[in-house]
Amino acid sequence: MPVRRPCCSAWRVRCWRCCLPCSPPRPCNLVLVAVSGLATLVVWSSVCVCHIRFRREWARDGHSADELDYRAPGFPVLPWLAIVMCIGALVLVVLDETQRSTLIA
Q: How crowded is the C-beta side of 16, counted as CA atoms within 13 Å? A: 0
What is the model's pLDDT at position 37? 85
Report the distance separating Cα 7 and Cα 103, nearest Å.
38
Q: Given a cut of 50, is residue 9 above it in pLDDT?
A: no
Where b means 16+ CB within 10 Å and e means fewer, 59-89 reads eeeeeeeeeeeeeeeeeeeebeebbeebeee
- How many helical (H) and strand (E) elements, i.e. helices and strands, does the chain have? 4, 0
* pLDDT tens-digit map of 43-97: 999 999 999 999 999 999 999 999 999 999 999 999 999 999 999 999 988 898 8
What is the model's pLDDT at position 51? 96
What is the model's pLDDT at position 79? 97
* pLDDT tens-digit map of 15-51: 555 555 556 667 777 778 778 888 999 999 999 999 9
- Taking the CA atoms of 9, 13, 15 and 18 in sequence, report the sign of the dihedral they define: positive
Dihedral pair phi/psi, residue 72, rounded to 5°: -65, 130
Pick the residue with more confidence: 11 or 76? 76
